[in-house]
Amino acid sequence: MRILVLCLFLLATYANAFFAFGNLGDNRLQSENNVYRPAGIVNWSLGVGVFDEPQNLIDYKMSFGLTRIGYSFDDGNESVSLYVMDFNLVSWSATYKNVYFEIYGGFSYLLFANNFSDYMQEKVGDEFIDQERVYPRYGYRLGYYVMDNLMVSLTANYNIVWWRYGHGSWNSNNNETLLIGGIGLSVQYNLF
């Protein structure tokens, strides 16, 4: 992990432009056959990133930040909040006449979790946190530059989770792949 952070720092020193961003959105749990409604866990993130050449039509960029994801369902019997460090390493964007579109992929590293319900603490406990430290992630963003340096956008962010806690899993499947994420709003400010 230290080597990755060092590499990100070195890449950032050679970047041509920097930006800061914030996201706020809903969170929902999605399995192969179900999409659960959002229920009380707000997704937020704060981060920074680098551009290669922001004045180009198509640009590569990279970002990292702190994010809160989670979910709650079954009237609160199942709930969890995860605080993760996001690394968006593969990010391509296109800008045309102030309209902006971005698609990205990367991974999240779990820092800590809270809001486990008694049921989840009994069934999962620290095993969930110890086994599942790294989550693949992806997302999309469609925005508009309201000023030269300020963009407002709609986002869709998703983390992929492999659920392996046995009893109580969906369809009695101990290795189900789930998505945690949803749609939200984002603000990005280009620093220089």
Where exactly are the structural domains of the chain?
2-190
Nearest alpha-carbon partner for 110 in 62, 165, 41, 180: 180
Collapse the DSSP code of 35 into the 3-class scheme (helix H, G, I; strand E, B; otherwise coil) and give the result: strand
Joined tokens for residue 175: 């290795």
pLDDT per residue, tens digit, the chain (192 aa), is: 676 677 667 666 767 778 899 999 888 777 766 666 655 678 899 998 887 676 777 888 888 899 988 776 666 566 678 888 998 888 888 988 989 999 999 999 888 877 766 666 666 655 555 556 788 999 999 999 999 889 999 999 988 877 655 444 444 445 567 788 888 999 999 887
CATH topology of domain 2-190: Porin (2.40.160)
What are the start-end ranges of the E strands in 97-164? 99-114, 134-145, 150-163
10 Å CB burial of residue 1 (0-12, 13-18, 19+) is exposed
Closest CA to 50 of 40, 31, 65: 65
pTM as predicted = 0.78
